Every structure is written in C-alpha cells, then in structure tokens.
Amino acid sequence: MLVVDGVTQIYRGGVTALNNVSIEIKPGLFGLLGPNGAGKSTLMRTIATLQTPSKGAIRFGGIDVIKDPERLRQVLGYLPQDFGVYPRVSAYAMLDHMAVLKGIANARERRQTVETLLRQTNLWNVRNKSVAGFSGGMRQRYGIAQALIGKPQLLIVDEPTAGLDPEERNRFLNLLADVSQTVVVILSTHIVDDVAQLCSDMAIISKGKIARQGIPSALTAELKGKVWRSFIDKSELDAAKSNHRVILSRLVGGRTLIHVLADTNPGPDFEPVTPDLEDVYFAALTSTQAN
Ligand code: ADP
C-alpha cells in the first residue's frame, strides 16, 4: 500500500501546488482525476521521487519514500507525460537497450523480458518498426512496456490518454487494468471516463487539495436522488446559477442542459437524473471553487 501523508508542495515563487494531501492507495488501478493545474503531475513526480515535498511523508510498504528514494526507485515504474524516443530505432532494440540500462545484463533473461513485455502490450507484431513512427496509442503502450522492465511493484502513469482516440484509449486502459492485477497502478487524468471505466479506487484533486476519495460507484451512489436536470435558454443560465447549485451546464441540441445538486426537487422545470461520475466530479470541483 502507498500512503501519502500530509504532503505539501510550495514552488519557488509561492505557488502551493499541493496543500496537505493525504491518500492511501491500495493494490489495483487508482485514478487521480483533476483539471489542468490541479497538482496531478506534482503529486506524481513527488511520489516518483523526482522532487522532494516541502512537507509531509510518503510510504510504500516498508519504504520511507522521502528518506530513502533509492529504494523506491528500485520498485518503481514511471511513465511521464512526455518521454523521448530515438528516431529509426525499432521497438525491440529500444526496449532491449532500456533493459540493459535497467541492469538486466544476462542476454537470455533480457530476451525473455523484452519478448514478454512486447506481447503483453500488444506490440509484438510491430516490434521491428521504429517507435518514433508509432501512433499515439502504440507509443503509450510502448511506454508501459518500458516502465514495466524489472517488474516494478508501483507503476505511475501521468496523463497517458491525452490525445488518444477512443479505441486506443480503451485498449490502453485495459492494459493498465490488466497490469493492476499484480502492481499498484496510479493513473492521473483529466478525463472522467478514464476513471469511470476501470478504476477500483479514485481521488479527485482540485487546487492542490483532495476534494473526494473513494470507490467510483460508491461516490456516484452518494449523489442518488440529489441531481436534477432542466433544459433552459442560454440567457437563463446566470439566473439559474444564482438560484441553484449548478454543477454542470452543456449545450444540447440548441438548448442548455443544466444539472443541479439539491436534496429536494428544485422546481417544476426539473426532473431527477441518475447521477454518474461526471456529476461527482463537477460537484467536487464546484464545491472547491466556492471555498
Ligand atoms: P496538473 O498536472 O494537474 O496540470 P501541475 O502539478 O502540473 O498540475 O501544476 C500544479 C500547479 O503548480 C500549477 O499552478 C502550476 O502552474 C504549478 N507548477 C507546476 N510545476 C511548477 C514549477 N516547477 N514551478 C512553479 N510552479 C509550478
């Protein structure tokens, strides 16, 4: 289990990117959901020992991550937002090279590792093609293969689905879910669906604070009977926002659809809706905005 305990990160210049963040992450696929600038990358980089927090503690199993970053690195796989690849080098050759750098000196062991990872990430058929020429989805799957060299116990993947088309995203998320059967996987994303589909546990981060944490279906169930929808004219949106707690507004077929959070029916033009994770997300974000 990974325990993040009261972690605060204040950057030079005074930006508080993480404000007393505490979360416990169990084995499985954990989704860290939040908008741009919420602090996701900062938290991912801090857990990955790439930066030291201003305050707080992080433990992974028996490892004190801040005091002993070297030990964490031995069991860590990390896929940053952008990773460089060499042009004209095949996926096989590059993964083999990375395995050498990770210390797998024995050629037979290395071949076995590289082959297993290429098959697991569904890249076996394109193993002789250059990674630089891969599609976005293939490239991200290659990134996972690379991060899994050396059998890490903790895999951190920072915003991996940005820019992937729906099919590639699904394939990629399924790969992460598969990996998470044996490894603690933390996925950061700003896409609600990434978390809704496969994550067994999640947290919503907003302005450097954890706004909600729990099992996606349980968080959604908490809103049951409290979300109401109405179609209004765009010109009525400001009035609706001052009269109700509008958590979501969206243009649908020329009308504005709003979702309102309320314990009882807010008015004759409203009807109940079955809440989903998007309602949970926007309810969490609007409550932190009000603070
Ligand atoms: P996210 O990954 O959720 O988009 P980040 O962790 O990248 O969020 O950023 C959180 C906040 O910290 C933002 O306000 C961002 O501008 C700021 N920030 C990130 N990195 C640095 C840095 N190296 N120096 C100063 N401010 C930073």
The pLDDT tens digits for 28-69 are 999 999 999 999 999 999 999 999 999 999 999 999 999 999
- Residue whose CA lies nearest to ligand 1 atom number 21: 11
Of all residues in the chain, what percent carry a pLDDT higher than 90?
89
Q: Which tens digit of pLDDT belongs to each residue from 144-180?
A: 999 999 999 999 999 999 888 899 999 999 999 999 9
Residue 104 and residue 149 in contact, taking contact as beta carbons nearer than 8 Å: yes
Tokens 């857990």, located at residue: 47
Q: How far is the CA of 40 from the centre of ligand 1 (A)?
A: 8
**Are 259 and 272 in contact, with CB atoms under 8 Å apart?**
no
Return d(Cα 255, Cα 30) in angstroms, integer.
36
Dihedral sign, Cα of residue 61, residue 63, residue 69, residue 74: negative
pLDDT in tens, 87-100: 889 999 999 999 99
Task: Give residue 289's pLDDT band: very low, low, confident or very high (50, 70, 90).
Answer: low
The closest alpha carbon to 219, from 207, 208, 230, 210, belongs to 210
Q: Whose CA is closest to atom 14 on ligand 1?
A: 37
Say what the pLDDT of residue 41 is. 95
In DSSP terms, 227 is beta-bridged to 261
pLDDT for the residue 23: 97
Which residues sit opposite 258 in a β-bridge? 230, 249
Q: Give how far Cα 23 sits from Cα of 166, 200, 212, 223, Å.
A: 30, 14, 10, 22
Rounded distance from Cα 123 to ligand 1 centre (Å): 33
Least confident of 50-59, 125-134, 280-289: 280-289
Residue 288 has pLDDT above 80, yes or no: no
Per-residue pLDDT at 163 = 82
CA distance 37 to 35: 6
Task: Classify 232 as helix, strand or coil.
Answer: strand
DSSP β-ladder status, 255-261 and 227-232: antiparallel
Strands (DSSP E) along 149-245, which ranges? 154-158, 184-189, 201-206, 209-214, 227-232
Q: What is the mean pLDDT of the chain?
A: 94
Contact 161, 169 (CB under 8 A): yes
Check: pTM over 0.75? Answer yes or no. yes
Q: For position 291, what pLDDT does the model report?
A: 46
CA of 20 to the centre of ligand 1 (A): 16
